[in-house]
Amino acid sequence: MSRFYITTPIYYINAEPHLGHAYSTMVADAVARAHRLLGDDVFFLTGTDEHGQKVERAAQKAGMPPNRFADVVAAKFRDLLPSLHASNDDFIRTTEPRHHASVQALWRRVRDRGHIYKGEYAGWYCTVDEVFVPETQLVDRRCPICGNAVERIAEESYFFRLSAFQQPLLDHYRRHPDFVTPTVRRNEMMTFLEAGLDDLSISRTSFTWGIPVPDDPAHVMYVWFDALTNYMTAAGFGSDDAASQQRFARYWPADVHLIGKEIVRQHAIYWPAFLLAADLPLPRQIVSHGWWLMDGAKMSKSKGNVARPRDYIERFGLDALRYFVFREMVFGQDANFADEAILTRYNADLANDFGNLVSRATTMIHRACGGRVPAPVASLLGRPDEQRLQEKVARLIAQVRDAVTVFQLSSALRDIWEVIADTNRYIVVREPWKLAKAADRQDELATSLYVAADTLRVIAELLRPFMPATAERTLTMLGVTAEAASWATLAPGTLVAGTHLGDTSPLFPRIEQTVEELRLMSNENSNPPTVPDAVPASPPAPPPAVAAAPAAAATGTITIDDFMKVELRIARVLAAERVPKSKKLLKLQVDTGADQRTIVAGIAEAYEPEALVGRTIVVVANLQPAKLMGVESNGMVLAGSIDGGPPVLVGFDRDMPPGARVR
């Protein structure tokens, strides 16, 4: 029996769980379940990432100590798992003692091998993305990634000698072509590696909510060193007792780290580098999936288009949601999450094709065969229609087995549904309802219903990883009460004749409402957004079409004096041209009333230079000069944008002269 260790990302507790989190968990769950059915000794891990400055501050805001805050929010993630039917074997929190011990053990190992040194880091730090932002990338002292204000940090810091691992990592990539999948991500990582690596700052002194650095408790560890190590902690790393050590020997290295495409670099470069430095085995594979898009856009809190898994479970049921996400997302690519698409999949695939098939097959057996699986007649099983179907079922078992283990869930389901269609066709060809009326054709009747039921039984066994509850219900209706059949021995023709069927009931009743009606219904019934706790880690998404009050921008207020330090002035664009070789930059000559100067603005993707000449804009007049793509910029142009979308210039509703102060 081989073992299989799969992980989800550990979820950062700064927001409510959304569909993206749920998707990672569900995919890992399906694959874990499949491996169990294949007879593997599976270890399936998920959990929460709870340290860092963001959490420390959120806790402050909520008026509670970080550990209590973490307890409350982590519970939300943990509580979601049962409603997803997640079959995880462990749930790890980075705040647990076992994890502290493990991370410190890893640190010592890396340090003792000479890959950690103490240095000084002075720079701009974004607390949202937990990264230092190079001076040259700052946008008005704001993080270029998330747009939030960055902070000046000059502090002593420990560094990890990441630069030393460029070549070892490249070697590893070449020796293990499937180390990172899909290939797109692997290629990205290869080019990133080839460009060279900077050493990585891996500790902080500016906050305390983290794991202390061994022998230097003034430092806490940088989030990724802490977080990534969870994968080893749960396997038993860093523990002294013999049982844990045995477990670690058995389960490490992990077979799969399943992640979203936004954290590939951390998993495919930082993590393996840490492990190489510690002289520990690397995970076998980093598998990354795409994003669920709402109307083609990434889900985000500020757009209020975050899909909450609970809403969909309520409307369609968990298994319908699972079916949809597995079936609809070609693994690795982005996919659209549209209510209409779920409804279509539900009615067409689940209700019409599958649910109705189970219903018609079992009903006929109840009526015509006294509710017992009829015994097929060997000679009739040899007819072409029966042969073809059973051969196809045998092939299907192999196809699904192969597809699931390489994360091709959508193709596995597509193949299963093809056989479902075949079975519907088979029933039409045999017309058992007619056979039932012909006393001299009872053998044909029994054989045809047996073949249909037997096929459904295999299908149900194959559906277990994807839709566990549906699979169980189907098998119960077919009278199969045995434990899950091993996928190693599953085969057509093994349904036992004579067993009593269970009662038939619709698996997926058709949904006749429109999407709009469904939304209304769930708005009425739904218990007010379940936020019983006093921890608004993030403001709840505003209801669409309602101008929600900007939820108390409690994020660090400033005084009026602070604001007045910023000299905002009206200016007129005198000339504009593209900065050569740049995609985003325009070089502007502007008249600020007091002087004429050059300002470089990152708006080239939204504005043609010609269209800007003569235009009135707002600039920050007293910003420190900076060089961008070799051009000195003296100030900055104000523009609004939605979630990093195209910038929209600030303007006035009547003409204003250059030089006027804006406040």
Partner RNA sequence: GCCGGAGUAGCUCAGUUGGUGAGAGCACGCGUCUCAUAAGCGCGGGGUCGACGGUUCAAGUCCGUCCUCCGGCACCA
C-alpha–C-alpha distance, residues 621 and 601, integer Å = 13
Binding mask 101-120 for RNA (x = CB under 7 A): --------------------
CB of 185 to RNA, least distance (A): 8
- One DSSP character per residue, 499-557 reads PBP-----SS----S-HHHHHHHHHHHSPS-S--SS--SSPPPPPTTS--------S--
Q: Which residues of 451-472 are buried (b: 16+ CB within 10 A; e: fewer)?
A: bbbbbbbbbbbbbbbbbbebbb
Closest CA to 181 of 28, 20, 289: 289
Residues within window 423-442 making contact with RNA, judged by CB under 7 A: 424-425, 427-428, 431-434
- Closest separation in Å from C-beta 628 to RNA: 4
Query: Quick one: 140 or 151, whose CB is closer to RNA?
Result: 140
Interface with RNA, residue 421, by CB under 7 A: yes
The residue within the footprint of RNA, chosen from 72, 629, 650, 662 (CB under 7 A), is 629
- Rounded to 10 deg, the angle between the 409-430 and 318-328 helix axes is 110
**Given 3-state DSSP classes, what are the helix, strand and coil percentages for the chain, each rounded to the nearest 5?**
45, 20, 40
Considering the complex, state which of residue 50 and residue 386 has its C-beta at the smaller distance from RNA.
Answer: 386
Answer whether 420's CB lies under 8 Å from 460's CB: no
Alpha-carbon distance of 152 to 142, in angstroms, equals 11
**Minimum CB distance to RNA, residue 349 (Å):** 7
Measured from the CB atom, the residue of 103 and 599 that comes closer to RNA is: 599
Under DSSP, is residue 257 helix (H, G, I), strand (E, B) or coil? Answer: strand
Binding footprint of RNA, residue count (CB under 7 A)? 70
User: Which listed residue (2, 67, 167, 344) binds RNA by CB under 7 A?
Assistant: 344
Asked if 305 touches RNA (CB under 7 A), the answer is: no
Site pattern 524..563 for RNA (x: CB under 7 A): ----------------------------------------
* 140 near RNA, rule: CB under 7 A: yes
Is residue 242 involved in binding RNA (CB under 7 A)? no
Please identify, using beta-carbon distances, which residue of 127 and 411 lies nearer to RNA: 411
Is 409 a residue that touches RNA (CB under 7 A)? no
Among 600, 612, 618, 649, binds RNA (CB under 7 A): 600
Closest by CA position to 333, among listed 179, 182, 466, 180: 182
Residues 364-383, interacting with RNA (CB under 7 A): 364, 367
635: DSSP letter: S
User: Tokens for 588?
Assistant: 């502007």
Query: What element of type H or E holds 77?
Result: helix 66-83
Nearer to RNA, 283 or 355 (CB): 355
Question: Which segment (5-13, 271-279, 502-510, 519-527) binds RNA by CB under 7 A?
Answer: 502-510
The interface with RNA within residues 120-139 (CB under 7 A) comprises 134-139
Smaller CB separation from RNA, 1 or 428: 428
Q: What are phi and psi of 276, to 5 degrees?
A: -60, -40
Q: Three-class SS of residue 579?
A: coil
User: Is the bond into 182 cis (omega within 30 degrees of 0)?
Assistant: yes
Q: Is 113 helix (H, G, I), strand (E, B) or coil?
A: coil
Q: How far is the CB of 392 from RNA (least distance, A)?
A: 14
Helix (H, G, I), strand (E, B) or coil at 296: coil
Distance CA 104, CA 117 (A): 15
Contact residue for RNA among 582, 609, 660, 662 (CB under 7 A): 582
Q: Considering the complex, what minimum distance in angstroms separates the CB of residue 195 from RNA?
A: 5
Q: Which residues bind RNA (CB under 7 A)?
A: 134-140, 144-145, 184, 187-188, 191-192, 195, 265, 330, 333-336, 344, 347-348, 351-356, 358-360, 363-364, 367, 421, 424-425, 427-428, 431-434, 506-510, 581-585, 599-603, 620, 623, 626-629, 633, 635-637
